[in-house]
Every structure is written in C-alpha cells, then in structure tokens.
Amino acid sequence: MKKEWLIKTFALGVVVLFFRAIVTPSIGGDFVNTNEIFSKGLVSSSEIDWWPMFRHDPQHSGNTSSPGPITNNILWRFDTGHNIYSNPAIVNDRVYVGSFSKLYCLDALTGESIWEFTVGDSIRSSPCVYDNKVIFNSRDGVLYCVDAENGSKIWTFFANIDEQNSPTAVDGKVFFGSESYQNNKGVIYCLNVEDGSVLWYLNTNESRFSSPAYIDGKIYIGTVRNSQLFWIFPLFIYCLDADSGDIQWKKTIGFNKLPYAPEVSLCEDKLYFGVSSIFGGKVGCLNAQTGNFIWRYYTDFVWNCWWVVTISAPSIAYDRIYFEIADFIKDTNEVRCLDANSGKHIWTFKDGAGTPIISDGKVYFGSSEVKVTFPKGTIYCLDAENGSIIWKYKTYNDVISAPSIVNGRMYIGTLIDKVLCFG
C-alpha cells in the first residue's frame, strides 16, 4: 500500500512540474511564450480580427474588436538593429514591420524571423497586407509588392510617396499619393493590386498627401499645398470616386505651419481629422457625403512662427474620438477624448501621448518626450471611459510606432531597435 502511494505521489509530482514548465514565464529571456500551447487553438484564424494595414482598416478607425493585453507582460522581443518607426501589420499569425531598409516578416506567436526583404532606403510607413501580398513604400520613392508567404518580389512602382504615409488596398485596388517637392503638382494614384498597373490617376495642385481612407466606394485623402507666404500651408481634404478618381468634393480645412497633410478617419457618414493650425491645434468633423463641417474643436490658443502643435488622426470608438496632441512650445504631450457627435471635451491624459489605438474599452499608445536630454519613452494602457492608467511600461527611449492589436496581443516598435509583443 505504501509503495503504491509513493508511485502515485511521484507521478503526480512529474505532472505538476511539467505543467508549471509550460505555463510559467521565463525570467529575463527574450522569448516568453506564455500559455501558447493552450491559446493557439482557442480562436480559429477566420474568427480573428487581423490588423492588415495602417490604423487597422480602410476607414483608419484605429479600433479593433480584438481584445488587448490587460498587463504589461512581454511575451517576446525581436531586435532589428535599427530604429523602428513603422506600425506593424498582423495577418495569419505573421507580423510585417519595417526597420531601416528591411521589411521583416516575424512569427506572431514566437517573434522568430521568417523572412526579410531589403529595399533601397528606410521604411517608416505601415505595410498593407491584402490578398496574400504585402504592399509598402520606402524612402527610395518606390512602392513594393511582395509575396506575404515568402517575401519574393511581385511588382514595383516608382512613385514619390512620402516616407511616413501608407498605401491602402481594398477591392483589388491600392491607393496612395505621389508627392512633389519641386512644384504643386502631386498625383493621387489607383493601381491594380495584381500587377501594379495604373487604373487611374488624378493630378492635383497640392504637393503632399496623407494615407488614403476608404468607405462606401469613395476615397478620402488629406493634402497640403506648398507656400512661401510666412510658412503658411493651405490644407485640403478630397473625396474621390474609388472606381474613376472623379472628384466628389474638395474642402479647405485651414492652414498649417508645417507642410504635413491632415490624416483622416471615417465612421459611417462622418469624417474626422486633426491638424496643427496657425493658432494651435484643431480637430474637426465633416459630413463625409458633402464635406460640410459638423463641428470644430480648437486646442489652447498658441501663436508662434515655428513648430508648435501637432495632432494625430483621431481613433473612433464608443461614440468618442481619441487623439494625440503634442505642444512643442509648452513641452507637453497629451491624449484627449471628445464626443464624436458634438466635439465636446470628455477627458485629457497629460502624462504622455502617442497615436492612440482602441481595443475592448482600453486606449493603447507609445509616448515620446517632446524635449528631453535623455529619452524616456513609455507605453501606456488607459481606461477608454475616463483616461485612468491601467498599466504602463518604460522603454527608456522614444516610441514613434503606433501599436497594433490582435487576439489579446499588442505589437509595437521602439527606437531601441526592438519589436515588442505584449500579452
């Protein structure tokens, strides 16, 4: 009887030790695959809300139905050896992200490298994954399309896209703006995703463009016109027919002290944008069908002939919008929350700011100090209802990349050369 009891006790101990070995995170390692053996099969690939492009979807909502991480636990790190400005795209358990002159494809569960694709200059934009293809641009002025499985080149198209703007692919088409630095003759392009052939293009009197957003057969894109008048740049938003490129409407939305086009976000029949203006920052809401203003929200009054306020594209969720505001005179950066229907201020988070991403009642972003001797970047998770901190993680360097969230995990790049996966 005693011998039988000892055998059972020993067997139970082996089982317990094995269980602890597979579910307990390792300490100090770069690859921590907590609960991987259990979670991998819980949600089928077809049910996962993937993150295929800039700000999650063609509307650039910055909002996902996937849950985000509830703690600052890091599952893995991947070191690229160079700063990361690109926002990751995640499809079919693969992470696509640019760093310096390489596009990386990583295993989303382990962080291990699958393939790399080298281009002629740095990649700062977000890759767009569509129909098993990865479409992205580089500072070398080329739009690339590579195979999502193996990284082989499918086609290229030379177009002077701004290094930080991202293409948008939908309905077999890819949209982007090609910029001009010599004159005000930029071009908006629509290409065939399959072969990169031009379906239509629109010549404009503007020189720089934002990342295009799409809804209901229409393309919306922000533009800025070169100006030598006291460094004041006129800002516009276009609404185009996605099939023909015909202009549906064009709206003047103000003037900027920087030659940066306004990023736009869409939700049903409303368009949201954020810009720095002559007198500080401004967030606006337009009727997407007509281009008429619904409301305007102005930040604190500031006047300076140089760089003052920048505002990110708003993220949209829960009948609210969330955006970053960075003030380079007051040395502050904040995340603010407004009512999406009226523009009424709801809350402000003052301890840091970055492009906010919304998931499951939470706001995620990586912050960069505006003016510091030693970088002190932090990744935050806030309560979307009131802006209170749920968790934070110190990176000890700036974070320019925006988070991407899929199936309980968050992926983000840092300027300490690492892609981080939280979960």
pLDDT tens track for 29-88: 333 333 332 333 344 566 899 999 999 999 999 999 999 999 999 999 999 989 888 899
DSSP E strand stretches across 278-373: 280-287, 293-298, 309-311, 315-317, 320-327, 332-339, 345-349, 357-359, 362-367
Would the pLDDT of 102 be above 90? yes
Domain assignment of residue 390, given as a range: 2-422
| Percent of the chain residues topping a pLDDT of 70 | 80
Report the CATH number at residue 402.
2.130.10.10
| Percent of the chain residues topping a pLDDT of 90 | 59
- 267 confidence band (pLDDT: 50, 70, 90): very high
Would the pLDDT of 133 be above 70? yes
- Does 105 or 378 have the greater pLDDT score? 105
Would the pLDDT of 268 be above 90? yes
318: which DSSP letter? T
- For residue 34, what pLDDT is reported? 33
- Mean pLDDT taken over the chain: 84
- 282 confidence band (pLDDT: 50, 70, 90): confident
- For residue 303, what pLDDT is reported? 52
pTM, 2 dp: 0.86
Measured over the CA atoms of residue 384, residue 388, residue 390 and residue 393, the dihedral's sign is positive
- For residue 89, what pLDDT is reported? 97
Which tokens sit at 348? 């402000």
- For residue 377, what pLDDT is reported? 83
- 308 confidence band (pLDDT: 50, 70, 90): low
Q: Are strands 89-91 and 153-158 parallel, antiparallel or unpaired?
A: unpaired
Mean pLDDT over 91-99 rounds to: 96
- For residue 328, what pLDDT is reported? 61
Would the pLDDT of 169 be above 70? yes
Which tokens sit at 67? 């849950």
Would the pLDDT of 366 be above 80? yes
- For residue 25, what pLDDT is reported? 33
Please count the structural domains in the chain. Answer: 1
Mean pLDDT over 316-323 rounds to: 96
SS3 37: helix
- Does 120 or 258 have the greater pLDDT score? 120
Q: What is the pLDDT of residues 178-213, one digit of tens each?
A: 987 666 678 999 999 999 999 999 999 888 899 999
Neighbours of 331 (CB within 10 A): 11
Mean pLDDT over 401-414 rounds to: 94
- Does 363 or 308 have the greater pLDDT score? 363
